[in-house]
Chain A
Amino acid sequence: MNGLWLVAQREIRTRIRTKSYLISLAVSAILVAALAFLPRVLGGDDTYDVGVVGQAPPPAAQLAYSRLPDEAAARKAVVDGDVDAALINGDKVLADGELDQRLGLILESVHRDAQISAAGLTITPLTVESVGADARYQGVRTGIATLIVMVLFFLLIYSSMFVAMGVVEEKGSRIVEILLTSVRPWQLLGGKIVGLGALGLVNLVVVIVAGLAASSATGFTADFPPGMGGIVVSAVVWFVLGYAFFSALAAAFGSLVSRQEELNTVLTPMTMLMMFTYLTAYFAAVEPAGTVARVLSFVPPFSSMVMPVRTAAVDVPLVEILVAGVLMVVAVVAVLLGAARVYRRAVLRTGARVKLGEVVR
């Protein structure tokens, strides 16, 4: 175990000092934070700025009033775009061209309310009851699910790639010959996977923290669905499982070749599987309640991305999550054992590419 830990430590120490790691850490954090700001930027505000001259209308949730001295100033403010519309003495609206339809409806209803209350009448608002599933947070949940797909995919492919590159580096430089006289193959392989996985996990946590911080800065947290903590924890746990699965595959395929140039070719089956997992997860984010998403959220390795997406997008019974988790753990153990076997047999056979069939028997 000590050997594994030493190897892991070296991986962390070596990699964490590289510029590329720090840059990717910063870039991914900034990207996710920017995504949290995106709704504000794209969707603009939910509220309209309305300039008010003279008599003030009653307050309304989606309207932000600003006082203007006179109609001339109001005209200028509308044309300059400082306000979305201006209300003159409670009965005239100035707009730049056609009035925004929704704003028009709101102003109309505010105007009506004002007249009704002036007439001494009170009206009770309609009560709304949903007879379907609670869909209030559906948009946000789908958004979060999509984000999880992207982040998980990026981190999985990137961390697994580094495992494969590390394996080839050691094999190609023959340093593995010396290493394997002082550590066991499983310690060397395990240490590499654990070390680089820890760095991937750090990256994931940084991304999550950046996303949450940016969300709270923009006030977006108010829109978070209940159970956000569970969504985050599920993403982290599934990342660990998915990473263990794909990095073990990457290491096994990587150990077949001696040169970095050959790596892309030999990794193709793994990258294909990963792309396919990504696509199914993306599909699941779009249609989280569908049968395909439901079935694939149980099948390893698809479950590693589909299940966290489903948990984010819809309410998944705990039993289903646990069953999917157990299945994935079984798959991870199987892949790790297989990868250790391939690695042990292939990593000392330098030179031409080793055929997978020769080492799995």
Chain B
Amino acid sequence: MLEIDGLRKRYGDKTALDGVGFAVRPGEMFGFVGANGAGKTTTMRIVMGVLDADSGEVRLDGRPLTYDDRRTFGYMPEERGLYQKMKVAEQIEYFGRLHGLAPAAARSATAALIERLGLAERRDDAVEALSLGNQQRVQLAVALVHEPAVLILDEPFSGLDPLAVDALAEVLKDRAAAGVPVIFSSHQLDLVEQLCDSVGIISAGRMVAYGPVGDLREREGRGVLRVVVRDAAPGWADRLPGALTREGDRDVLLCEEGDDQDILRTAIGAGKVEHFGRRQPTLAEIFREAVA
């Protein structure tokens, strides 16, 4: 289990992190979302030891993280960096070796990743000759080559085409299924919603919401009540809370509060009820709500 506990970081008089904490279990995929400048990158850089926190701690299985632990992590920084003049396969292999793989293991892991990420035709090209999307794939391969014990990826999906997004999502699911805690940040909330077991929302250096996606939905919005009534007389909902809109011959009532049983009785009395239920908020809605 990777635990991030009470991280604080200040730059001059600007507070970047103000007590950020969450935990990711083995095999859990954790989506880290927040506005630009909210503190995602700073948190990840502290986890990777690229930056020192002013206070707080990162633990792996209860022990403070060491350099040797981090060597087994896979990291994709926000600012991508590769040796532009080095060949694709050579570069991936080099990073595998730096992470401690034996030459043969580095070579076979590189070959497998190149195949999987669709880079086979570019394996002997210099990185600078690749499109940005393909450079991104190489960057991922560099983070994955040593079968990391923990994955920390800062915006891994940005700039990828839909096929590459699918390929990466598959790779991440694989790693999680193998028991690896995976943390990634993204602005693509639908993707986070699809992939992640739990989500942390950070705003201005604080975690404003954090937990399994289902729990967040229930906690954040109990859900807006949506009632659709056909052929109702005008003015039937005047005494009810919520907003009424008319779509053709249907009235749609959205209520955030009020006695749902009373609303239902009124609706049945007014016309033919076609729909009555609570709508689950999307992650995007939860996010907007949480950071507002």
Q: Is the interface of A mostly helix, strand, loop or mixed?
A: helix
Q: Say if the beta carbon of B94 comes within 8 Å of chain A.
A: yes
Which one, A93-101, A178-186, A319-327, is touching chain B?
A178-186
Q: Is the CB of B94 within 8 A of A177?
A: no
Q: Is the CB of A181 within 8 A of B81?
A: no
Q: Is the CB of B81 within 8 A of A175?
A: yes
Q: Say if the beta carbon of A174 comes within 8 Å of chain B.
A: yes
Chain B: minimal CB distance from A4 (Å): 11
Q: Is the CB of A177 within 8 A of B95?
A: no
Which of A6, A174, A175 is B97 in contact with, Cβ under 8 Å? A6
Asked if A6 meets B98 with Cβ closer than 8 Å, knowing A174-B81, A181-B48, the reply is yes
- In the assembled complex, 26 residue pairs joining A and B whose CB atoms fall closer than 8 Å, in A order, are A6-B94, A6-B97, A14-B86, A170-B81, A174-B79, A174-B80, A174-B81, A175-B83, A176-B81, A177-B48, A177-B77, A177-B79, A177-B81, A178-B77, A178-B95, A178-B142, A178-B143, A180-B49, A181-B50, A181-B71, A181-B73, A181-B75, A182-B71, A182-B95, A182-B100, A348-B51
Q: Is the CB of B51 within 8 A of A181?
A: no
In the complex, chain A residues whose CB is within 8 Å of the CB of B48: 177, 181
Chain B residue with the shortest CB-CB distance to A348: B50
In the complex, chain A residues 337-352 whose Cβ is within 8 Å of any chain B Cβ: 348, 350
Q: Say if the beta carbon of B123 comes within 8 Å of chain A.
A: no
- Bound Cα distance from A170 to B143, whole angstroms: 17
Q: Is the CB of A184 within 8 A of B67?
A: yes
Chain A: minimal CB distance from B97 (Å): 5
Q: Say if the beta carbon of A47 comes within 8 Å of chain B.
A: no
Q: Say if the beta carbon of B82 comes within 8 Å of chain A.
A: yes
- Bound Cα distance from A30 to B143, whole angstroms: 45
In the complex, chain B residues 90-110 whose Cβ is within 8 Å of any chain A Cβ: 94-95, 97-100
Residues of A within 8 A of B (CB): 3, 6-7, 10, 14, 169-170, 173-184, 348, 350
Chain B: minimal CB distance from A5 (Å): 10
Q: Is the CB of B77 within 8 A of A174?
A: yes
In the complex, chain A residues whose CB is within 8 Å of the CB of B50: 177, 180-181, 348
In the complex, chain A residues whose CB is within 8 Å of the CB of B82: 173, 175
In the complex, chain A residues whose CB is within 8 Å of the CB of B45: 177
Chain B residue with the shortest CB-CB distance to A7: B98
In the complex, chain A residues whose CB is within 8 Å of the CB of B85: 14
- Bound Cα distance from A170 to B51, whole angstroms: 17
Which of A6, A7, A173, A184 is B81 in contact with, Cβ under 8 Å? A173
Q: Say if the beta carbon of B70 comes within 8 Å of chain A.
A: yes
Chain B: minimal CB distance from A170 (Å): 8
Q: Say if the beta carbon of B84 comes within 8 Å of chain A.
A: yes
In the complex, chain B residues whose CB is within 8 Å of the CB of A348: 50-51
Chain A residue with the shortest CB-CB distance to B142: A178
- Bound Cα distance from A14 to B73, whole angstroms: 26
